[in-house]
Amino acid sequence: MIRRAALWSATSTRLTNPAAGVQRLLAFALAISAIPGIATAGGVQTLEVVEITAKADDLIGQAGTASEGTVTAQQLENRPLLRPAEVLEVVPGLIISQHSGDGKANQYYLRGFNLDHGTDFATTLMGMPANMPTHAHGQGYSDLQFLIPELVERMQYRKGPYAANVGDFATAGSASIDYFRKLDSSFADITAGSYGYRRGLVAGSPQMGDGNLLYALEWTENQGPWTLPEDLGKLNGLLRYSQGTRDNGWSLAAMAYQAKWSSSDQVPQRAIDQGLISRYGNLDPTDGGKTHRYSLSGEWSLKGDNRWTRANAFMIDYDLNLWSNFTFCLSDIALTGSCNRGDQFEQADRRKVYGFNVARTWYEDWLGKAADFTLGVQSRYDDIGNVGLYATTARQRWGTVRQDKVKEGNLSLYGESQVQWQEKFRSILGLREDFYSFDVTSNTPQNSGSVRANIASPKLALIFGPWDKTEYYVNAGYGFHSNDARGVTVKVNPDFRDTDPATGFGKPADPSTPLVRAKGYELGVRSAIVPRLQTSLALWRLDLASELVFAGDAGTTEPSFPSRRMGIEWANYWTPASALTIDADFAVSRARYTTIDATVPGDYIPGAIEKTASIGVSYDDGAKWSGGVRLRYFGPRPLIEDNSVRSPSSTLVNLRIGYKADRNLKLALDVLNLFDRKVSDIDYYYASQLRNEATPVDDIHTHPSEPRSLRLSLRLGF
């Protein structure tokens, strides 16, 4: 009992004894492996792949929580998408939006979070992480613009910090996306749509030797509805060679993606109300960006009767230049008394990412009880050659706020054990230990430094049932998110634009905690008692030791106060007929700071999502016609801590109609924002100053949803 209490009270510490964390995990592993009979043969596998298909009870007896699942390609086929990352909206309660150009990472919302561009939601593709720590634009930046939705074979999602094999950024949830290894047939898609949207995609998977070569080449152009043409140009390619299956086989993949764009960023509502710009206008026509992402990755898996071993490794070359202007003249007028240069800034990121994951699961029969045990090792190293913030005018640099080289590495060890104790009771016990190293070389010497830290994250799940095709879950677990390495080693404020006499340029700055603790609880139920209907209900709570909030004047996230979120989610998946699928999910959340000081007027968390709903219907009988329609409700959010300013809600409906002329010819029409609703994609509240204003003005800064648009696609099979 003493050992268990010590384990569950583990917190983030400086790594003065690196062996301590390893000893904790080894003690856990040895305790499990010492169970008599653990080496016997003929065990029962209890961790099979969880898939949501037309059979409603597939998750009963296999899921560890009420809020996890796996989505298949079939569910995505008739889903109308405005942007690639909207694939993630199959996760119940998750909302995708955008506040800038379509080459930039999307904005994510889930479980009472404005997740910014990915903080606290971890995403991987073919085992490679999408989230970028110590990123120029925001911690955990997750750019999924390189995703090709037609290639997604499945996506496994989890919510909450309850799985031992996911660590950083996964406190609200995580999603693991995998592409096909073999397509049913090769095809070419050609799409043309409103506002200059053009897209071409060619993909196939011919047999080559003993395996298959999956290839894809995507090209996209878009001008958008904006007064300033978006001028998006995107080129995306994939080669993946594989042999065998996901469980028994291997694959190698090479990916290349690059994009450039102009941005119409969020603008102050007063500029629209005063007629200075239109709803789709902009105040700085030189905002925009360019990026690339090149990667090599490999996966290997071998699964037998008693054990399953899998591994993957990856290398990523990543580059981003992003020009933004959120405050327009505020800083320039404060510094110079005029607005000759404006407040545009550039964020630059150049990095190489290396990593691997190795895990082995043993399936055993312990005294007649089905059991499995997993041990895993994960590692990632980000070699960031430059992460910089610069003052610019029309994309020309005229000042350096800060410029750093960062080497950030982490090593993670985890173990997880699942035991079927009784016919109606099983448990999952996990422990994860993460070790981090932050090394920063800054152009401001005082802000250079090295920090080491580690954190332990125990997890527990108790699953009862099923009774009448109904199962009950009790979950508790710790998770964490890392902080930006530059904030971990900072000593003085490097921002020459900051004129605050107490905390401004050159003044002492307090470093951030390297690893921020999260603690989650969840009660859930999953039922398939109604034929062909699967429903799940989850009541959850999540405590964060330090919130990350968006800073409008720099376009970055900054540490803030501790917080607590709680809520309820209800998800439903119904197949009343073989050709018809209906899904509906609803979520309500409450997010508050648990500790504040006199600097803030209240305990509301700005941007925290409160209510979401999604209802979709799809039809496909395999004959001529198919289609899908989806309604998404994005509830109101507080924009300031005292809740005196709120973002309005929005409801959007998207439609897809498909017609199959023959097996090699298919047409599809997408109607996005079917009812042409004039609503916001995102709203912020902060101070900015226009050229004609004598003082800064606190205002809502909004980015509108795109108006109704049509996209017609032609698919040719070959």
pLDDT of 547: 86
Domain count, the chain: 1
Percent over 70 (pLDDT), the chain: 91
Contacts of 88 (CB under 8 A, 6+ apart): 94, 96, 108, 123, 144, 155, 175
> Amino acid letter at 506?
G
Arithmetic mean of pLDDT, 673-680: 97
Taking the CA atoms of 692, 694, 695 and 698 in sequence, report the sign of the dihedral they define.
negative
In angstroms, the CA 131 to CA 91 distance is 18
Residue 453: phi, psi to the nearest 5?
A: -155, 155
Helices (H), 526-635: none
**Whether pLDDT at 1 is above 80:** no
The rounded distance, in Å, linking the Cα atoms of 321 and 395 is: 10
C-alpha to C-alpha distance for 336 and 488, rounded to whole angstroms: 31
Answer whether residue 553 shows pLDDT above 90.
no
Q: Is residue 231 scored above 80 in pLDDT?
A: yes
Q: Calculate mean pLDDT across residues 236-244.
A: 98
- Mean pLDDT rounded to a whole number for the chain: 91
285, two tokens: 């026509």
Return the pLDDT at 560.
Answer: 86
Give the whole-number percent of the chain exceeding pLDDT 90.
86
Radius of gyration of the chain (CA): 25
pLDDT of residue 356 exceeding 90, the answer is: yes
Other Cβ atoms within 10 Å of 283 Cβ, number: 22
Alpha carbon 527 to its chain's center? 28
Q: What is the mean pLDDT of residues 224-244?
A: 97
**The dihedral sign for the CA sequence 184, 185, 188, 194:** negative
Give tens-digit pLDDT for 302-323. 999 899 999 999 999 999 999 9
CA distances from 478 to 7, 66, 69, 120, 376 (A): 11, 18, 20, 13, 18
Rounded Cα distance between 489 and 514, Å, is 9
Cα 285 to Cα 263, 396, 430, 682: the distances in Å are 8, 13, 51, 20
Q: Give the structural domain span for 436.
A: 2-717
Residue 488 has which token pair? 């971990």
- Residue 555: pLDDT band (50, 70, 90) is low
Give the mean model confidence (pLDDT) for residues 504-508. 94
- Contact between 357 and 129 under an 8 Å Cβ cutoff? The reply is no
Provide the 10 A C-beta neighbour count for residue 41: 9
pLDDT in tens, 184-215: 999 999 999 999 999 999 999 999 999 999 99
**Measuring CA to CA, how many Å separate 511 from each of 449, 481, 489, 621?**
11, 16, 6, 59
DSSP calls for 450-484: EEEEEEEEEEEEEEEEEETTEEEEEEEEEEEEEPP
Residue 313 in tokens: 């490794």
Q: 191: which 2 tokens?
A: 């799409």
Tokens 């065998």 appear where?
244
CATH code for the domain in which residue 617 is found = 2.40.170.20
Contact 340, 320 (CB under 8 A): no
pLDDT of amino acid 31: 45
Q: How far is CA 499 from CA 331, 503, 507, 549, 557, in A?
A: 8, 8, 10, 21, 20
Q: How far apart are CA 281 and CA 676, in angstroms?
A: 18
Residues 690/268, Cβ–Cβ less than 8 Å: yes
pLDDT at 550 over 70: no
| Phi, psi for 166 (deg, rounded to 5) | -125, 140
Tokens at 4, concatenated: 């268990």
Query: Which tokens go with 17?
Result: 């004894």
Name the residue type at position 406.
Answer: V
DSSP state letters, 350-362: EEEEEEEEEEEEE
Mean pLDDT calculated for residue range 619-636: 96
Is residue 90 within 8 A of residue 693, CB to CB? The reply is no
- Indicate if the alpha-carbon torsion angle 628, 677, 116, 281 is positive or negative: positive
CA distance 215 to 181: 10
At 100-134, the pLDDT tens digits run: 889 999 999 999 999 999 999 999 999 999 999 99
Q: Which residue has the tokens 């924009």?
A: 639
Condensed to tens digits (0 to 9), the pLDDT of residues 650-662 reads 999 999 999 999 9
pLDDT of residue 554: 60
- The dihedral over CA atoms of 421, 425, 428, 429, expressed in degrees to the nearest 10, equals -60
Residue 549's pLDDT is 67
For residues 48-71, average pLDDT: 68
Mean pLDDT of 592-611: 94
**Host H or E run for residue 26:** helix 18-33
Q: Which two tokens stand for residue 438?
A: 């932050």
SS3 194: helix
- Give φ, ψ of 18 to 5 degrees: -60, -25
Tokens read off for 585? 């999910």
- What does DSSP say about strands 470-482 and 515-527: parallel, antiparallel, or unpaired? antiparallel
Q: Assign residue 570 a region (left: φ > 0; alpha: ψ between -120 and 50; beta: otherwise).
A: beta
Give the whole-angstrom CA distance, residue 327 versus residue 690: 8
680-688 and 697-704: which strand pairing? antiparallel
Spell out a b/e string for 352-377, using b for 16 or more CB atoms within 10 Å of the CB, else e.
ebebbbebebbbbbbeebbbbbbbbe
Closest CA to 569 of 548, 593, 590: 590
- Res. 37: pLDDT tops 50: no
486, 387 contact by CB (below 8 A): yes
Strand order across the beta sheet in which 107-110 lies: 95-97, 107-110, 113-114
